[in-house]
Amino acid sequence: MEFTLLQLTQQLDEIFDAIQLAISGSLSMKLIGLSSLQSILRNITLHLPEGYELIAGTRTEDIHQYYKWSKVSIFANSNCIKLIVHIPLKSADHSFTLYKIIILPERISSDKFVQYATDYPYLAIQVSQRGYIPFRERLQQMRYK
């Protein structure tokens, strides 16, 4: 009986800690396990509008990334606790490739060179090549060329 009460106390502490994380906006494995999250994400992909997909897919080895990227809102009343999980999506129209701009010196006379400077050393170009965004610092989430 004591062992069962100790287990129950530990489980309640884990749930309390997971709910505290959810209140701060983070998703915890204690609230939604890896296999449950994968199942939820697979169901979501079946109902996404055309052209949208999950940012990291639904492969087992990629599911853990959603715990970092997801933002959680929590609502509770006396009967239940509801989680609203914001999961990042991507669309083909909004994918970018990040390029680093390397400025080479240019000869202006036989013994003089000039080198231009740029305010934005990185340039993100849409995969569809219809738009771009200049950046001062490299972003970690983008592919880099």
pTM, entire model: 0.56
Q: What is the mean pLDDT of each run of 10 residues along the chain (145 residues)?
A: 90 86 87 90 87 85 89 86 84 74 87 87 79 71 44
Sign of CA dihedral 46, 48, 51, 52: negative
- CA distance linking residue 11 with residue 30, whole number of Å: 10
Contact 34, 63 (CB under 8 A): yes
- Going by the DSSP 8-state scheme, the letter that residue 62 receives in this structure is G
Listed by start position, the domains of the chain span 2-92, 95-144
Neighbours of 135 (CB within 10 A): 16
